[in-house]
């Protein structure tokens, strides 16, 4: 397949491009500067510029673009950037594909399990209604931006990604170093559900969905595990204790409006991904923890 990827420099995008190329696909990446070769396509989402001629003959687009949500304090200005960086890119890609007769007929659009909001112990498949939190509203606008592509008959799958476990950043970027030192532990009560997937399985799942006949929301998670159980599995793999609990009040002060994503409980079920035949390489916390430690 010829696949065009937006957001190729992020944690997920970089590994996805590498995997697709290893599997023999031709991959082109969208860049916000003049293209420097045949494997790059220039675009400018802020200005609404993406030349449809550059996408002629491509089979699929994977759009992973969006400003980070955990790397900066979520001020009102930053929240606007979080929303616009997602809606602008998703909308531009969708409108471009909708206007093409000979363009890609598959669009895998990034999204997130924050769609469901705080739901306690409820098991959440893709049919659950969206929540009322800031991040649920982000997802609502983000996915709605792809409506032109859906209306034009493009197969659109929304990649509602959970907590991506990686040895080099992501959700564990701050927790793993503390666990290695033996001074980490559960976050808040530790009873909240964390719906996780390893980086390996995240990119494998995206590659799988390029050809699987799946559309609409897809929970890209392996399973939901209570935070304290996942943390202890990581600590055991590192041969360290996990007894220094991070108080909820301190996390709220440090993380501001991002704190609900750490302390909140989202028990997502990968019903659509499982039904499509995908089998994760790391199916439980012990396997995920072992992989993380081997690749740290």
pLDDT tens, residue by residue, 136-180? 999 999 999 999 999 999 999 999 999 999 988 777 766 777 777
Q: Using an 8 Å Cβ cutoff, are 206 and 262 in contact?
A: no
Residue whose pair of structure tokens reads 């996915």 in the numeric block: 143
Does the pLDDT of residue 133 top 80, yes or no? yes
Which CATH number fits the domain that encloses residue 278?
A: 3.40.50.720
Q: What rounded mean pLDDT belongs to the chain?
A: 91
The per-residue pLDDT for 176 is 74
Does the pLDDT of residue 245 top 80, yes or no? no
Q: Using an 8 Å Cβ cutoff, are 276 and 215 in contact?
A: no
The per-residue pLDDT for 33 is 95
> Please, which pLDDT band fits residue 45 given cuts at 50, 70 and 90?
very high
What's the domain count of the chain? Answer: 1
The per-residue pLDDT for 68 is 84
The per-residue pLDDT for 61 is 98
Domain that holds residue 22: 2-295
pLDDT tens, residue by residue, 88-120? 999 999 999 999 999 999 999 999 999 999 899
Rounded Cα distance, 113 and 130, in Å: 9
Does the pLDDT of residue 25 top 70, yes or no? yes
Burial class (CB in 10 A: 0-12, 13-18, 19+), 76: exposed
């Amino acid at each position: 397949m010829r696949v065009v990827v937006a957001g190729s420099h992020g944690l997920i995008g970089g590994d996805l491009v590498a995997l697709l190329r290893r599997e023999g696909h031709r991959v082109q990446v969208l860049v916000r500067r003049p293209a420097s070769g045949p494997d790059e396509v220039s675009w400018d989402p802020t200005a609404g510029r993406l030349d449809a001629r550059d996408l002629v003959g491509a089979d699929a687009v994977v759009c992973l673009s969006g400003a980070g949500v955990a790397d900066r304090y979520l001020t009102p200005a930053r929240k606007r950037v979080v929303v616009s960086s997602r809606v602008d890119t998703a909308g531009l890609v969708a409108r471009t594909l909708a206007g093409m007769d000979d363009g890609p007929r598959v669009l895998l659009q990034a999204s997130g399990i924050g769609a469901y909001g705080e739901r306690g112990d409820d098991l959440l498949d893709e049919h659950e209604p969206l929540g009322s939190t800031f991040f649920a509203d982000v997802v609502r606008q983000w996915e709605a931006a792809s409506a032109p592509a859906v209306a034009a008959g493009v197969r659109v799958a929304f990649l509602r990604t959970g907590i991506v476990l990686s040895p080099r950043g992501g959700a564990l970027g701050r927790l793993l170093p503390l666990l290695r030192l033996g001074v980490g532990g559960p976050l808040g009560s530790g009873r909240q559900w964390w719906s996780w997937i390893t980086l390996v399985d995240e990119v494998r799942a995206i590659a799988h969905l390029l050809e699987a006949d799946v559309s609409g929301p897809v929970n890209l998670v392996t399973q939901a595990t209570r935070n304290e159980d996942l943390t202890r599995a990581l600590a055991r793999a590192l041969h360290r204790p996990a007894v220094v609990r991070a108080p909820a009040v301190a996390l709220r002060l440090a993380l501001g409006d991002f704190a609900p994503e750490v302390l909140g409980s989202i028990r997502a079920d990968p019903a659509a991904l499982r039904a499509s035949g995908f089998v994760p390489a790391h199916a439980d916390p012990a396997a995920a923890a072992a992989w993380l430690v081997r690749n740290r």
